[in-house]
Structures are given as C-alpha cells and as structure tokens.
Structure 1
Amino acid sequence: MKLLLFTGVSLWSLASARSSASVVQTGSISTPAGTVEITKEEQCACRELRASFAKNVILPGQANYTEQTKDYYWDVRADLSPACVFVPETADAVASAIEIFSSCNAQFAVRGGGHMNYPGSNNIDGGVLVALSSLNSYTVNKDSIDVGPGLNWYNVYTALESHGRVAIGGRMKTIGVPGLTLIGGFHYFNNKYGYAMDNVLSYDVVLGNGTQVTAAKDSHPDLFWALKGGANNYGVVTKFTLKTYSVPKVTSTIQMFNESAFPQFFDAMCHSAMVDEEDPTAAGMIATVSYNVTTKVASASLLGVQEGVSMPPSKFANFSSIPATMRINNVTTMGQWSSELDSPKQMFRVMFSHKTMKPDSETILSIYKAWKAAVEQISDVEGLYPTFVLNEITPSSLRVANTNGVGNVWGLKAEPLMIWQFSTGWALSQDDLRVEAWSQQLTERLHAINQEKGIASEFVYMGDAGGWQDPFVGFPAENVNRMRDIRAAYDPSKTFSRLNWGGFKLGM
C-alpha cells in the first residue's frame, strides 16, 4: 500500500496543474500571472553564466525551464519565474556562479529539494535560480556517506541499504538533503542519535566571495557549528559527509484512530516526548490529525519506525493499547519504508504555522478543539485541506548536541518539548491572504494562552515554520550574536543576506 503524505497525512489522490513561462523579452518575463521585470544586474549574471556554462543555463521558454522552476517544488506558491536557471554540475561551477552574482550585484536563489514551503525561500522572480539537482553523486564509506545537495533522502537511504546502514535525515522520500540538514532535521531516530545537523561530519561550502572551504570539527570549527541549524546564512553547501549507523532492519507501524480516541492519542504523544533514557532504543513517528471539512470527520494517524525487529515495535506500546481503526506492523528496511511514503509535489498551496510547548495532553486537546472550530471559519475556501501535526522533542535527542563537543545553534536544554503545527492546503491564489492571516492569528492566540499558563516555549523549528515566523527569537541570544559574528567573518560582503534573501535570515 503506497501512502501519499501531506505533512504526515495519508492522501489517496493527486491532482496538479502546471504552467510554463514564455520566452524572455528584453527587460522582462511574461508569465500567466503577469510580467516580471528583470534588472540589468540579473541580465548581467545570466549573460556571464551563459558565456562560461552555456549548456547549464536555461532561459524561459527553453526545455526544462518549467521542470526546474515548478515541477521540483512541493508548494504551488513556490512556483516563480527566474530570469534564468543555472544547473551546475560541480562545486567549482557553483563557486564561479557566486563570483558572478557578486560582480554583477545580482539577486539569486538556491534550491536543493524544493520542499521549503513559502514563496521566495528557494525560488525567485526575475533573479537567477541556482538549481542543485545535478550535484547528485554519493560515496558510501565505512561509517559515513558523502552526499551531494541534489539528492533527496530516499536516494540516501537506498544507497545505504545494501550496507545495512542508515543516515539521520528526512522522514519523507522527496525531502531534499540540504534544506533539512541545514535547519536541524527531524528523523525517526532523533531520540538516540540527535538531529540530522548533529550527524554531519563535514560540509564543503562555497562562501560569498566564491572561496571553497571544508568546515569540520578541526577545520573552520566556528563555521561548522554555525551550519548546524543556521540555515543558508553562510554559503552554498556542495557536499555533506554524514555519519551512518548499523541498522539493517527496522520495524514499522501504521495506526489510525477515530476522534473518540484522541485524548488517549495525545496522552501517548506526551508520554513519548517525556521518556528520558540514557541509551534509548531508536524510534520515532509522524503523528497527524486530519479533518474533512465536508464530512466533518477527524482521524489521527501514527507512522512509526523503530530500529531492529521487535514485533510489534515496543516503543509504541502506548499507542498500540488504544483502540484503532487500522493497525499494520511490519519488519522492513529504511529504504523500503521510505519508498512507500510520498509527499506529492505541486498538489496544494500550503501554509505552515506552529509553536512549541511543554508536553501537556489536556492543553493539546484544547488546541485541537480550538483549531477544529476555527477551521469552520474558512471552510468555504476551495480545496481546503487542514491538518494538525505534532512533533516530539525528547530530552535524549537534545542531549546528543550537549555532549558531543560541538553543539548546535538551537542551544536547547535537554528537556521534553512538543511542537504543535497547523498545516493548511488550499487551491486558489485569491485565498492566500485569508488563509495566511487565519493561520497566523490562530497560532498566536493559542500560543499566548500557553504563555499565560507558563508552558510555552519560544523555540520555532524552521522546517515547520511559516514565512512570517522568526526562528532566531527562540535561540539563546549569545548563539544568535555568535552566528552574526561568524557570518561577518565568512561573508563580509553579505552576499547571502543582500543578494540571496530567501529562507530564514539572521537580522543585521
């Protein structure tokens, strides 16, 4: 049974519509949405790139332009119209491109897997799109793997499968390696091995002046630390070396629950987050509630994975004791499991909003009820697909960074937290502002209640954040100041804050 996932929800149909931009005209691009102006700076960059890398530059109207500017993107809202697309095949080519952007003073965007879901985070209107899809090589080592930023996590898991090893990366197959790794990285095995960022042994980075460096524990250690959750504030990573672990088999569980079981479901989630073991069995989940605005029926799903062949998987005993409408356990491999979990691209316009709190099942139930009632306010929005998602942060998952001699930019104490998230899909651009305002206002109102209760955390995870949210507010102030100092040292011309503005950027 193949599952199509929308932030952890099972979907059973796929419909997408795509359109392509027309050929570039002088100073502008004509698109179905109107005309996008191209400045002389971006014209300069496209011209210089074509002079050096003619076969790697795609202009509007040429073959593959639509594929690179739309088809690679998860969220329809990310479909923009760059002046040209550059598809480098080597790290040296990336370095040359960054030098060109700097000399031309041209705006640019960088795309890995294309999963970050707000406009401008990994695409651009009128600027240059650097598409990393051709940097897709890998090398399997004894206890690590070198991967290019053009790979997704399914590529990584299948590359390691014959070796009986796994890397700590994304939970859905189409998520790209670079974005998830640079913002933190939720995986099923966080509770034992930490986050994706905690498992990077080295980064090959192109800096804002075109210089290439390798950041590791004993080479540019300040940059090495800053890249662990610091997003795209420092350069373009052209290779990640990831630690791997011997996990030849995993046990999976798929469980579905009706609304009467939600109090027990939320109890089990909070209990899982609060478990604190020194040497835990690696296990984790995607936990989601979906609500059908037509039938008014809500259901919860648990997609869990545990290392080893325990059948049923012991770490999900609290969920397995709840009456379920469906329960399937299976012994498989990480590659086989991830092959069944698709997150369809170009299916929706998608808005994320979330906050974090100390685990409290009664409060989570009240948040769910408030969200369900609020969904009715926008139930007339065409194509509305609302979901309520929970992600646990366990003490043991945070202890990895606190004890490995490197740390990460999150700087969180080893204590349990729960991320509660609203993921909202819809069909038409005319509803963008309405859905965004609804999601932001509801999120902030419920977070304010948690602040009054004293159970709110200000931590915001970039991978589940709305474009309006500021993740850096939840980092320790000393970490943010250190990140700014590192940015000033490695990107003094501010290439990655002045010319590359997409994604979550440090303030000045």
Structure 2
Amino acid sequence: MHSLTLLPLLASVASAGASSHIRRSNATTTGVAGACAALTAQFPDQVLTATSANYTFESTDYWDVRSDANPSCIFLPDTADQVATAVSLLVTNDAPFAVRGGGHMNFPGSNNIDNGVLVALENLMQLDVDNATQTIDVGPGTRWVDVYDALAPYGLYCIGGRMKTIGVPGLLLIGGWHYFNNKYGYAMDNVLEYDVVLANGTQVTANSTSHPDLFWALKGGASNFGVVTRFRLQAFEQGLLSTTIQEYGEDAVAGYISAVCDFVESTTSEVAAGAVFSIQYNATTKVVAPSLLGVEQTNVSPPPRFANFTALNSTLAISQLMNTTAWHNQLDTPNQMFRVQFSHRTMKPDAGQIIQYFQMWKDAVDEIADVAGLYPTFVLNAAPASAARVAQTNGVGNVWGLDDSENWLIFQFSTGWADAADDIRVTSWSERLITQMHTINQEKGLASEFVYMGDAGEWQDPWAGMAPENVAKAQEIRTAYDPNGVFRYLNYGGFKLPY
C-alpha cells in the first residue's frame, strides 16, 4: 500500500508432466544472448543494452531501489502483437525474462532481472473511455494517475491505486487497495476484461464468457498465467471527494489506534470511505507522528466517517472537497529513494493488542537505529467484510476467496533504509518481529492467515492464506494455459503459485 513515503510526499494444480517442463537449468547465457539478438533483429529501435543511452534509466525505473537489476537487454514493445512475438522468441531461446508494467511490486526480481531479458511495457499506454458503458480500456504501461486523469473529464472514477504513480497491472493482478474497497470491492473485482499473451505466444481475451476460467484466475492470481496487454475497468460517476489529512503527536497514539479499530468495525457497504493509516517513528529524534489520509464519497466536509479522528487533538487537520485528480496528484511515490522491506499480518481489530504491538515495534526499531537511512513506518489497513462480499456476490469471485463474515485489520511494517549491506539485517529483523506478533494473535484467536501480495515480504506466502480450493483451481488453470511452465521457470520472479 506504499505508505512508507507518504509524509515527506505530502510535504512536497497440479503441474504438467515433468518431461514437458522448461527447466531453469537449461536457461543459459547463450539463450539470453540469442533472445536479445532475435529481438534486435526484428525491432532494432526497441532494444536497449548496457551501452544504450536509456539503459540505466529503464533498469532503475522503480520506486524501490532493491528492484534495480542489470538485464542483458531491455525490450520496449509498442503493441500487444510485439509482446506476443517477444514471448515466442524468449521461449524459443529458453531465455529467462521479467515483465514490468509500472513497477508496483517491490519483491526483488518481480519486475526486473539480472542477466536476462526485461520486457518493459511502458509504451502500451492505451486509455480509451466509453462514457456510455462507464468503462475504460487501460494499457499496462499506465500509472493510476493516467487512468484518473482520463476519466475525470467524464465525471468518472474507478477503483485503483491510492497513490498516483503506482503501476496499473501489478495492482490489478494481485488485488488492489483503494479508499472505496468497502463499497466496490478490490481493484481486481472491477476488471471486466483482459487481453492476454499466453506462454505459446497466442493472444486471447478473457472475460465472463470468453475463457472465463482465465478471467477468474487473473483476479488475484498474479503473474502466473500470461502477460496482460489490456484491462477493461468498470468506472462509476463521482463528483467531488470529501478528503481529510490529519497528523498527531505521540500522545494521540492510543486514541488514534482505537479510532482506526472503530472505523474498521463500523464499516459497511453503504458509504464508500477509506483511508491510509500510518505512524512514522524517527529513531534518531524519537518523534512519533500518526497520520490519516481519509476519503469519503460525500459532499459533507469534514467527512463524517472520520469523526473519531477529527475529535482527537491533532497537530494538522486539513479537510476539503476535492476532485479526484487533485487528490491523487498530491500523493506520489518517488522512485529510487529507499531500499524497502514490507512485512505484515492480518488480525481482528483489537485496539488494545495493536497498541501493544505498536510499542513492541517502536522498541524494536530502536534496536536497529544505527541502520543508515532508517525510515520505519507502522501501517494499518482495513479489510472489511463488505469488501470481500463483492466477490462473493458478483457471480465471478476471485482467487483470494476471502470470507465475508469478519472485518479484518492488516498491520504492517514498512521499513526503508539506504545500504545493501543492511538488507539481510533489516529483513531478518522484520520477519522475526512480525512472526512473534502473529504467533501471539494465533494463541489469542485474533489471527487471520491472509497475506496481501502487495504488502508482503518476499519470505511470506500469500497462497497459504487463500481458500485452498481456489489455489488448487488456479493451479489447474495455470497448467491448462501454460503446460510447459514458462511463467514458472523462465518468468520466475514474484509470488508464483505453489508447485
């Protein structure tokens, strides 16, 4: 959910038979060189190598420094047909590859690759609005600010990223948090159609009547089935948003966390409203700063759903009616500022327990205060029952299969730092601490095993918290559409389905 840099920004199946599998051990340097040569022969102006002028920019065009890598070549397709050709050439040459849309995932290797081929989709910038059906066709090279800007002249809005430069495809394929999930479901639940390049280079359109199995699997199934070259999204009419930005001191932490839990427990689908809840801690100055970014679908200001927060003693409170683009344009995720590690777990919104966890986290941050460039944030995100209910009742569903009988709260460590030398230390610290807290929750009957891919550490297993029958179904669909395992063995970054 990418809350790490929020405050400074506001200041400015079973598998197929083994004999049919592509084996990563066969993916050689020769294969990569052959793929790069073949791509260059067909698309001489669209392939970059290490000596190309734009190579460094393209290989670091991500918000998380840990995603930086050195691909052997970078291919920049202009059309879906070119993506299909590239996939065919990569498979023919047995060349490992990564696919980048907007660089949303911060799992290292999920959208870049060392010594392989990077397929960068930034030129696929389709943004076609159909006002009559209130839909928009979106290319995978877009960011959410592009989508919101395209919809705004029609008085339309859609469920997408909460910060403007988040990439469209990554968010849509793994689920997608937005302020209005409680009413409209997750971003994936609002996709009506996908154009997909499959592992054999063919192209299909997946919707409720064409390849409906693949249509379902792409809703939360991540990068396991193909390369999506077009998303058709459902939009809705939206006038001004009622927004509020509030900041507090450390004395408000207990009241702030209690207000978050009250907000989650009182959430229904009647009024669309949501927020980014985060607490910054500066381990050097010892300053604690809770903050709220709240949005409600109403013309009343301040937004009534956040009355418990407005009642707290704040150090800053700005509430105003804003159009959708004005709100999102102030929420940027700058590239290349931090190395970032996420860890999170899901629990019932128990305020007393979360207050304890905040103190445990704060004390633990002090133990790594010597890490250069340390930038720790304690993040809370609502996962209300009403959001899960959309997929339970829309006739399609999604891979998650979340139960819609319980309101949940996700608590997350979002940790930034400066030096690669501290990668193992910070990751181990985060894993141990979040695991300790989750164990306590399990013992107290507060825990959910759900893990959201977009905010998970690479050591976490999102599939373990999904409905087991859904995971098995997704595995069967993977085998049907990618029997040779291209998106397991050649495109191997990110959260791949279990074997």
Q: State the alpha-carbon separation in 2 of the partners of residues 154 and 308 from structure 1.
A: 22
Of 208, 211, 214, the residue aligned with 1:217 is 208
Alignment of 1:93-104 (within 5 A): 93-104=82-93
SS state of the match for residue 45, structure 2? Answer: helix
SS state of the match for residue 284, structure 1? Answer: strand
Of 379, 382, 401, the residue aligned with 1:411 is 401
SS state of the match for residue 335, structure 2? Answer: coil
CA contact (8 A) 2:176 2:187 kept: yes
Does 1:82 find its partner at 2:79? no
Q: State the alpha-carbon separation in 1 of the partners of residues 270 and 337 from structure 2.
A: 37
SS state of the match for residue 10, structure 1? Answer: helix
Q: State the alpha-carbon separation in 1 of the partners of residues 443 and 5 from structure 2.
A: 30
The aligned counterpart of 1:40 is 30
The aligned counterpart of 1:31 is none
The aligned counterpart of 1:22 is none
Alignment of 1:53-202 (within 5 A): 53-70=43-60, 72-142=61-131, 143-202=134-193
CA offset digits 1:238-285 (Å, max 9, x no partner): 0000000100211110000111111111111111111243x4111110
Does 1:499 find its partner at 2:496? no
CA contact (8 A) 1:86 1:131 kept: yes
CA contact (8 A) 1:164 1:249 kept: no
Alignment of 1:350-369 (within 5 A): 350-369=340-359
Q: Mark the runs of 5 or more structure 2 residues left unpaired by the alignment.
A: 13-26
Does 1:271 find its partner at 2:268? no
Q: State the alpha-carbon separation in 2 of the partners of residues 390 and 9 from structure 1.
A: 13
| Distance of aligned partners of 1:435 and 1:276 in 2 relative to their CA distance in 1, 3 Å threshold | closer
CA contact (8 A) 2:4 2:416 kept: no
Deviation at 1:115, TM superposition (A): 2.5
CA contact (8 A) 2:241 2:322 kept: yes
Does 1:298 find its partner at 2:295? no
Calculate the TM-score normalised by the size of structure 1.
0.93
Does 1:472 find its partner at 2:469? no
The aligned counterpart of 1:27 is none
Does 1:203 find its partner at 2:198? no
CA contact (8 A) 1:250 1:307 kept: yes
Calculate the TM-score normalised by the size of structure 2.
0.95
Q: State the alpha-carbon separation in 1 of the partners of residues 316 and 9 from structure 2.
A: 16
SS state of the match for residue 463, structure 2? Answer: helix
CA offset digits 1:355-400 (Å, max 9, x no partner): 1001101111111000000011110001000000000011111111
CA offset digits 1:388-435 (Å, max 9, x no partner): 000001111111111000001111111200100001100011111111
Alignment of 1:207-286 (within 5 A): 207-277=198-268, 279-286=269-276
Of 371, 378, 400, the residue aligned with 2:368 is 378
Q: State the alpha-carbon separation in 1 of the partners of residues 5 and 254 from structure 2.
A: 19
CA contact (8 A) 1:169 1:196 kept: yes
CA contact (8 A) 1:8 1:288 kept: no
CA offset digits 1:443-466 (Å, max 9, x no partner): 111110111101111000000001
Does 1:481 find its partner at 2:478? no
SS state of the match for residue 342, structure 1? Answer: coil
Q: State the alpha-carbon separation in 2 of the partners of residues 276 and 158 from structure 1.
A: 29
The aligned counterpart of 1:7 is 4
SS state of the match for residue 264, structure 1? Answer: helix
Deviation at 1:12, TM superposition (A): 5.9
Alignment of 1:382-401 (within 5 A): 382-401=372-391
The aligned counterpart of 1:447 is 438
Q: State the alpha-carbon separation in 2 of the partners of residues 12 and 483 from structure 1.
A: 38
Deviation at 1:8, TM superposition (A): 6.0
CA offset digits 1:211-256 (Å, max 9, x no partner): 1011101111111111000000000000000000100211110000
Does 1:289 find its partner at 2:279? yes
When the two chains are superposed, the root-mean-square deviation of aligned CA atoms in Å is 1.5
CA contact (8 A) 1:274 1:395 kept: no
| Distance of aligned partners of 1:346 and 1:200 in 2 relative to their CA distance in 1, 3 Å threshold | same
CA contact (8 A) 2:48 2:55 kept: yes
CA contact (8 A) 2:10 2:331 kept: no
Q: What one-letter code is carried by the residue in structure 2 that aligns with 1:412? A: L
| Structure 1 segments (4+ residues) deviating >4 Å | 12-15
Deviation at 1:9, TM superposition (A): 3.0
SS state of the match for residue 134, structure 1? Answer: coil
Q: State the alpha-carbon separation in 2 of the partners of residues 42 and 8 from structure 1.
A: 36
CA contact (8 A) 1:9 1:290 kept: no
Q: State the alpha-carbon separation in 2 of the partners of residues 255 and 247 from structure 1.
A: 23
CA contact (8 A) 2:277 2:293 kept: yes
Deviation at 1:499, TM superposition (A): 0.3
Deviation at 1:6, TM superposition (A): 4.5
CA contact (8 A) 2:9 2:331 kept: no
Q: State the alpha-carbon separation in 2 of the partners of residues 471 and 12 from structure 1.
A: 29
Q: State the alpha-carbon separation in 2 of the partners of residues 200 and 443 from structure 1.
A: 32
The aligned counterpart of 2:19 is none
Deviation at 1:166, TM superposition (A): 0.4
Alignment of 1:426-445 (within 5 A): 426-445=417-436
CA offset digits 1:73-126 (Å, max 9, x no partner): 111111100000000000000000110111101000000111311311110000
Identity %: 54
Deviation at 1:38, TM superposition (A): 7.2
CA offset digits 1:164-217 (Å, max 9, x no partner): 110100000110000000000000110100000000000000010011011101
Q: State the alpha-carbon separation in 2 of the partners of residues 41 and 301 from structure 1.
A: 50
SS state of the match for residue 133, structure 1? Answer: coil
Q: State the alpha-carbon separation in 2 of the partners of residues 392 and 119 from structure 1.
A: 26
Q: What one-letter code is carried by the residue in structure 2 that aligns with 1:467? A: E
Deviation at 1:7, TM superposition (A): 3.0
SS state of the match for residue 325, structure 1? Answer: strand
| Bigger RCO of structures 1 and 2 (CA < 8 A, at least 6 apart) | 2
| Distance of aligned partners of 1:8 and 1:246 in 2 relative to their CA distance in 1, 3 Å threshold | farther
Q: State the alpha-carbon separation in 1 of the partners of residues 220 and 75 from structure 2.
A: 26
Q: What one-letter code is carried by the residue in structure 2 that aligns with 1:203? A: Y
CA contact (8 A) 2:3 2:276 kept: no
